[in-house]
Structure 1
Amino acid sequence: MSLNRRNIRIVFLLQLAIVSLVVVLVMLWLAGTTPHLKFATVTFVAITLAVGSIVAVTWMTYRATRRLMAPVDWLLREVARWDPQHPDTRALSPERIPAEIKGDIRKMADALHGLSERVDAFIARERDFTRDASHELRTPLTVIRMASDLISHDQGLSERSRRSLNRIHGANTAMESIMDALLLLARDQDVALETEDFAVSDVIDTEVERILPLLEGKQLQLDVAIEAQPELHAPPRVLGVILGNLLRNAVRYTDAGHIRVNLLADRIEVVDTGIGMDATTLARAFEPFYRIDAAATGAGLGLSVARRLGERCGWALQLASTPGQGTRATILFGTSIPGA
C-alpha cells in the first residue's frame, strides 16, 4: 500500500511538472512569434492552457489512482463482508483471488487467508478438546460421587474419616461444576442455551447446601437474606456454577467471620469478611490461573470461568474489596439471554 501511494505521488508530480513546462514553453513561444499580441491576450491564452492542463492532469491522476487502488478496494470489500463471529475467508483463497490482484496486495490477501485458517483450526481444536475432556472426566467423577455417597452411610466411620469424606465430596462437586462450565463455554455462540423459567432462590438453596461441608473446621457463619423473589428465563445450571464459584472463593479466603448471600430483585451478592484484595489484585482477579494466595488450592480458574459464563448469559459480574475487611461479589442479572 505504501508503494502504491508513492507511485501515485510520483505520477502526479511528473504530470504537474510536464504541465508547468508546457505552459512556460507556450508563453515563451507566443511572446517570441507574435510580438504584436498584447500582454493580456498572451496571459489569457496561458491561463486557458494552464486550466485545461490542470483539468487533464487531475483526470489522469484520478484514473491512475483508481487503477493503483483497485486491488486495495477489492481487499477491503472482501474483509468488510466478514461476519466478526464467523469470518468467511474462502474469497481470499489463492484460486479465487482475481488475476489482476498482484504484488503487495496479493501477499496481504494470502497472509490473511493463512492466518484465518490457523485461527479457525485453533478454535476448533480448543472446542473439541474442551468438549471431549469434559465428557471423559464426567464418568470418573460420577463414580467418585456415588462411591463417596455409599461410604458416607457407613456408621463405623470415625469423625476424622467423615471430615475427609466430606472434603472429597465437596471437591468432586466443584469439579462437576467446572465440567458443566467448560461444556457450556465450548458451545458455539450461535447455539442457543438450554433456558427455562426458574426461581433464583432455588439455585441459592442448592449451592448453599453444597458449600456447607467446606465450612467444617472454620469459624464461619453462612447466612442467606432473601429480600426479593426474582425469576429468570435462563440456564439455571449456569447461575449455579457462577454462584458456586463465588461461594467457594468466599470460603477459601475467609477463615473466620461470616459469609452472607443477599438476593435482591436484580442481583445476587456474596459478601465475606475474608482477607480482601488491594487494587492491584482486584484488577487481576478475573485473569485465568491468577490466585490471590499462591499457596491456596485450586487452579485459579473460578472467577475467569464465572465471568465468561456471565457474559454468555448477559449477566455482569462485579467485585468490590478492601484488604483485611472482605469482598463483595455481585451477579447483576441481564434483561435477555444472548442466543436464547
Structure 2
Amino acid sequence: MAVMPPPSDDVPPDETRAELYDDAPCGYLTIDSHGCIIRANNTATGWIGIDRDALLGVSLRTIMTPAGRIFFETHVAPQLVTEGSARQVAIDLKCSDGHRMPVLSDWRNVVRDGRTIGIRAMFVDATDRRAYERDLLAARERAEETAARLTASEAQLRELNETLERRVAERTADLERAHDQLRQSQKLEAMGSLTGGVAHDFNNLLTPILGLLDSLQRRPVSDHRERQAIAGALASAERAKTLVQRLLAFARRQPLQAQAIDIGDLVGGMAELVASTSGPRIRVNVERDAALPHALADANQVEMAVLNLAVNARDAMPDGGTLTLGVHAEQVAGVGMIRLVVGDTGVGMDPATLDRAVEPFFSTKGLGKGTGLGLSMVHGLAAQLGGSLTLYSEPGRGTTVELRLPAVDRPATVVPVKSEQPLHCGAPGCVLLVDDETLVRFATAFMLKDLGFTVVEADSAEAAIGLLGEGLRPDIVVSDHLMPGMTGTELAFRVQEWLGIPTLIVSGYADVEGVAAGLPRLSKPFRRKHLAEALVRMSGIHLAA
C-alpha cells in the first residue's frame, strides 16, 4: 500500500481548470453562432498579439489572412455543416504586427438541444512544420529535376552510344583521307624535287645542243639536206626545251616575271583564240566580275596555262559542249585572291583519275596525244606564285579547274616591246665566262665569240677570282649560278664590290633562294639572240643578234 507524503509548502498546488485552459501549449477559441469570438485562452491571444478584452466580440474572419478566410469559407464551414467537425486543417492566422502565423487547426460544433450554438477551435503552431513541408517540397522538386536531368543524360548517352560507331567510322574515313592527301602531297613534293633536278641537268645538256645548232643554222650551208637536218634538230631541241620548261613549272622552279596583270583582260583577249582552237562544236563562254583587281602573275605563263586547260577541256568533249572561262574576285582566309576558272561539260574523271591528275606524265589521252604535263605545269605555276589549284570532276558531268592567284592593288607594269630588228654591230669587248660544265662553257663561248667578244674561260668561281687577281679586267662576267664551291651569285657580288664589273647569271632554273632579285639573269637553254638580248639589257652595248 502506497504511502502519500505529508503536505508541504514547497509542493505547488494543483492547477485549476482555468489555468490549464489559459496556459495550454495550444490556442483555444470559442466562436458564437454569429461568428464572433466569445472566449480565448492566453496562448491564442499571445500568438495573435491582441489583448483578451479587445479580442472578444471580434469576428473570427478578422484574425485570418485573406487566403485563410477563403479556405475557411470554402472548405471548413461546409464540412462543419455536413460533418460537425474538421480536423488537421492547415490555415494562416493574421497577427497584430502584420505577419502571418501558420497553424494546424481542429474545428468542432457546439450543440445544445440538437441545435448548433457555436464552434470551438484548437490551434497548434505549425511554423516549423510548414517550413519543413516547404523544404520537403523543395527537396522533392530538386530530386525531380535531378531525375529529369539523369533521364535526359541517359537518353543522350544512349544516343551517343548509338552514334559512336558511325562517328568513329566517319572520323576514321576523314583521317584516312587526310593521310591520303598528305601522302599525295609528299609524293608530288618528292616528284617535284626529282623533276626539278632532272630538268636542270637537261637544261645543261640542251644549252650546247640548242646554242650550237642555232649557230650552225646561221652559217651558210649549200647542201639542202644539211639545212633540213639542222632545222629538224633545232626544232626537236626547241620541243625538248618546252618539255623541260613544263617540268620546271611542275617543280616550281621555272623562271617567272611576276607582276601585276589584269587577268580579266588577259582571259577576255584569249576567248577568240580558245574558240578557234576548240572548234565549231564547242561553245566558249566568258564570265568575269566587273572592276577586278590585278593579280600577281606571269602573263605568258598564265596564257600558257589557260591554253593547256582549254585544250584539255576540248579533248574531254569529243561530241561538243560548253567551255567556260571565268575570272572572279574572292577572299580566302581574309586574303584577296583572283579565281580563274576553266570548266567543261565533258566526260569528267573518276576519283582514281582525279587523284592522279596533277602527276607529271600522267595522261588518259593515249600514246602520242599528250605529254601529261599540262595540269602539272598549272599546279606548279599556282604554287610558285603563292596561289593554289583545285579540281572538281565527276564522270559524265564535266570538269572544273580553279586557279587562284594573289590579288594586288597596283596596276600592271607596262613592259616596252623590244624591236625585232637586228642590233648594230660594234666592238663588244672582253667577257670572263665561268661555268663548271665543259660543254655548256664551250657552247656559250662559241656564241660569245660569234657576237664579237673576246672570251676568257674559267671552270669555277675561285678560278675566275684568281684570273682577276692576276690583272684580268673584262668588260662583262657571264657566270653559271650553281657550281661547286662559290656560287655565281656570290661571285657577282664579289666582282661588283671589287671592280664594279657587271655580271650576267646563267641558271638552269629559277633558284629563288640563291639568286638575288636585282642581278641580270638568263635561263638555260638559250640561243645566241637570247644571250645577245641579255647582254644588251645589262650593259647597253650594241650587238648583232
TM superposition score normalised by structure 1: 0.46
Larger Rg computed on CA atoms: 2
Q: More strand per residue: 1 or 2?
A: 2
Q: Which of 1 and 2 has higher RCO (CA within 8 Å, sep 6+)? A: 1
